[in-house]
Chains A and B, each alone.
Chain A
Amino acid sequence: MRGPGGPAPVRRRSRYGLTPYWFLLPALVVYALFLLYPLGRAVQISLYDWDGLSLATFVGPANYADVLTDDRLRSAFGHSLVLIFFFAVLPLGIGLVLAALLTRGQVRGMGFFRTVIFLPQVIAMVVVAVAWRQIYAPDGQLNTLLRAVGLDALTRTWLGDFTLTLPAVGLIGTWVSTGLVTVLLMAGMSRIPTELYEAATLDGAGAVRSFLFITVPSVRAEVVVALTMTIIAALKTFDLVYVTTSGGPGATTTVPSFEVYRRAFQLGEVGSAAAVAVVLTVLIFGINIAVNRIGERES
Chain B
Amino acid sequence: MRISAGERATNYAILILFAVVALAPVLTILQAALAPETPQDALTGPPLHVENFGRAWEQGRFSEYMLNSVVVGVIVVSMATTFSIMAGYAFGAFTFRGSQALFYLFLLGIMVPTEAIVVPLFFDLQALGLTNTVWAIALPQVAQSVAFGTFWMRAYFRGANRSLIEAARLDGAGHHRVLWQVLVPVARPAIVTLVLLTFMWTWNEFLIPLVMSPNAQLRTAPLGLALFQGQYVQGTTLLAAAAVLVALPVVVLYLVLQRHFIQGMLEGAVRE
Q: Does B216 lie at the interface of the complex (its beta carbon under 8 Å from any beta carbon of A)?
A: no
Using an 8 Å CB-CB cutoff, how does the interface string of A69-110 with B read, 1 for contact, 0 for none? 000000000000000000000000010011001100111000
List of A residues within 8 angstroms of B206 by Cβ = 124-126, 238-239, 242
List of A residues within 8 angstroms of B218 by Cβ = none
Q: A24-B102, A122-B251 are in contact. Are A13 and B83 (CB under 8 A)?
A: no
Q: A102-B15, A106-B8 are in contact. Are A39 and B117 (CB under 8 A)?
A: yes
Contact between chains at A184 and B120 (CB < 8 Å) = no
A154 to chain B, nearest CB (A): 18
Q: How many residues of B contact A (CB 8 A)?
A: 96
The dominant DSSP class at the A interface is helix
Q: Does B147 lie at the interface of the complex (its beta carbon under 8 Å from any beta carbon of A)?
A: yes
Q: How many residues of A contact B (CB 8 A)?
A: 100
Which residues of chain B in 171-229 are interfacial with respect to chain A, using CB atoms and an 8 Å cutoff? 175, 179, 200, 203-204, 206-207, 210-211, 214, 222, 225-226, 229
Complex CA distance for A141 and B27, rounded to whole angstroms: 12
Contact between chains at A126 and B86 (CB < 8 Å) = no
Q: Does B155 lie at the interface of the complex (its beta carbon under 8 Å from any beta carbon of A)?
A: no
Q: Does A245 lie at the interface of the complex (its beta carbon under 8 Å from any beta carbon of B)?
A: no
Query: B4's closest neighbor in chain A, by CB?
Result: A207
List of B residues within 8 angstroms of A30 by Cβ = 79, 83, 139, 142-143, 146
List of B residues within 8 angstroms of A187 by Cβ = 266
- Given A26-B83, A106-B11: 11 more A-B contacts, CB < 8 Å: A1-B93, A23-B89, A30-B143, A31-B147, A38-B117, A105-B8, A125-B206, A130-B29, A130-B226, A130-B229, A131-B26
Residues on A close to B: CB < 8 A? 1-3, 9, 12-13, 16, 19-21, 23-24, 26-28, 30-31, 33-36, 38-39, 41-42, 44-45, 52, 94, 97-98, 101-102, 105-107, 112-128, 130-135, 137, 141, 175, 178-180, 183-184, 187, 194, 197-198, 201, 207, 221, 225, 228-229, 232, 235-236, 238-239, 242-243, 256-257, 260-261, 264-265, 270, 273-274, 277-278, 280-281, 284-285, 288
